[in-house]
Structure 1
Amino acid sequence: MHCIGNGGFFMWWWIASAAALAVLIVVVLLSSVRVRLKYYREGENDEVDASLSALFGLVRLRYKVPTVELKPWLNGIRMKVAPEETSGVLPELDFAREEIRRFVQRVRKLIAHMKNYKRFFADTLKHVHVVELRWDTRFGLTDAAETGMTGGVVWGLKSALLGVASRWMSFERLPSVTVTPVFNQPTFRTEIVIRTRMKVFRIIAIGAMLVYRVLKRRGGWIVWLRVLLGRSPKESTA
């Protein structure tokens, strides 16, 4: 009987390990990153619920923003953020108007130092698959005629927004949209739920394309590096 020596055994072990690793990499690349966003508003109360899952549910992140308080425009925005299943006092985040202005300025600086950024964003959104989109609105005014007229305006606005979204993203099923008027009673409640997915290999390809477009823009990588490291956009030069 022919016996496999130590060298042959280790060779087959490495081949089997490499094959198993290759299969694992392919499975991971073909898996999806799923994002679920929910926005709910009733009266003066807002709530945002965001969750992300990847690697077949092995990676899960979820955060809730139960209060989004719009401060006077000169002061900025205040939010209370709570991770999943957090109890007690919620941490409060304040964003002054100047901080928001600087953030927007940095984002614009990054976008300006990408080659053909419009094409990049269009190609990225094309690979976003919308698994579910549900938008329910219930409202009422004291006057029945005004309620009916406003309902038509809301329907038109929703239809226009969905038409724009369908041009940029892929919908796996028809969106569910409702507008329910409540006559002779002032009330307002709206809920938007959107679930999306994107393949991991697509995300990696998008990241690689982002790096490519930044490098193709003259001085782009310098600006991106400085901005991401916290340098003021005014200190960055193309």
Structure 2
Amino acid sequence: MKLWLLIIAVLLLAVIVLVLFSHIRFALKFQKRGPDERLEIQIIALYGLVKYHYTVPGFIFEGIRRGLHVKLEKTGVAPSVSADDKERNIDRKDVSEWMDFGKRALAATRGLKTWTAETLTHVKITKLDWSTDFSLGDAAGTATAAGALWALKWTLIGWISQIIRLKEKPRLFVVPRFVDQICYLTKVDCAGQFSAGYAVYAGFRLALRVIREDQGVRQWWELLKIARRGSWAKELKEQH
């Protein structure tokens, strides 16, 4: 009996070690050609046993009142995960609700900004390709815009490198098209990873920060209940 318990304990320890030493990998692909966009996000964990794939086939701006129409397609390989499609409009009300939720989360967590910054430094970007082909319909204007776009891209990459670790040098391309019509095509291909062990450690540190904050646990519990019910605007307003 003791031998079986020892074997089970060793197996459990081996599984825990394998999980902690695994990596959570992600890939992001974005393409915009004129008015058409497409965004794909893939997340792989536990040596490929858990996979999530999100696709946003397009964003349609339907005016100030209706906002941005987004369709999300989700598929996954994991326990209790199946194909799922959702459509919704993102308007000013949604943005305001998210901002209120963020403010409440900051108030309920001691040093949340510091924790976020420290956690992001452990994210490794292993691939970052960003290409842009465009024409403004005028040769002089296109050439001037190409120089400005180069400067903008390298400025953004410099800012990102201060937050997230870039393991490989980004590949940036700007290709001006000297044609007599306006056209635009941009592609972003990004991949990266972070340690599952550090993700567990970061989650533990976050929990400690919540516990140390005055009524942090209660506030987060209320926020999670509100988010699950989807009635953010009304309930957040009532609690202020």
Measure how far apart 1:171 and its partner are: 1.4
Partner in structure 1 of residue 219 of structure 2: 223
Q: How many residues align?
A: 224
The structure with more radius of gyration: 1
How far did 1:92 drift? 2.6
Residues 64 and 91 in structure 2, CA contact (< 8 A), matched pair in contact too? no
Q: Does 1:98 align with 2:87?
A: no
Which residue is equivalent to 2:7? 16
1:165 corresponds to 2:160? yes
CA shift at 1:30, angstroms?
Answer: 0.6
In angstroms, what is the RMSD of aligned CA positions?
A: 1.9
5+ long unaligned stretches in structure 1:
1-9
3-state SS, counterpart of residue 137 of structure 2 = coil
Instruction: Determine the C-alpha separation between the residues in 1 that align with 2:214 and 2:151.
Output: 43
Instruction: Decide which of 186, 193, 201 is 1:190's aligned counterpart.
Output: 186
2-side partners of 1:198 and 1:228: how far apart?
A: 25
Distance in 2 (alpha carbons) for counterparts of 1:233 and 1:82: 29
Q: Is 2:62 aligned against 1:71?
A: yes
Give the gaps of 5 or more residues in structure 2: 77-84, 227-231
What does residue range 5-154 of structure 1 map to in structure 2 within 5 Å?
Answer: 10-84=1-75, 91-154=86-149
Rounded to whole Å, the distance in 1 between the matches of 2:216 and 2:146 is 47
Which of 225, 234, 237 in structure 2 is aligned with 1:234? 237
Supply the distance in 1 between the matched residues of 2:207 and 2:86 (Cα, whole angstroms).
Answer: 35
**Amino acid corresponding to residue 187 of structure 1 in structure 2:** C
In structure 1, the partner of 2:229 is none
Find the counterpart in structure 2 of residue 3 from structure 1.
Answer: none
TM-score by structure 2 length? 0.87
Closer/same/farther in 2, CA of residues 206 and 23 from structure 1, 3 Å limit: same
Q: Post-superposition shift, 1:214?
A: 1.8
For residues 98 and 112 of structure 2, what CA distance do their matches in structure 1 show?
A: 19
Letter of the aligned partner of 2:236 in structure 1? P
Q: Would the aligned equivalents of 2:26 and 2:42 in 1 still touch at CA under 8 Å? A: yes
The runs of at least 4 aligned residues of structure 1 exceeding 4 Å deviation read: none
1:94-133: CA deviations, max 9, x gaps?
2343233212211222123221222111101011011111
> Pick from 176, 195, 199: which aligns with 2:195?
199
User: Once the two structures are aligned, what percentage of the paired residues are identical?
Assistant: 28
Question: 2:66·2:89 contact (CA, 8 Å) conserved in 1?
Answer: no
Q: Distance in 2 between matches of 1:221 and 1:234?
A: 20
**CA deviation after TM superposition for structure 1 residue 91, in Å:** 4.8
Deviates more, 1:226-235 or 1:56-65: 226-235
Q: 8 Å contact 1:53–1:60 — kept in the other structure?
A: yes
TM-score computed with the length of structure 1 as normaliser: 0.87
CA distance in 2, matches of 1:112, 1:164: 27
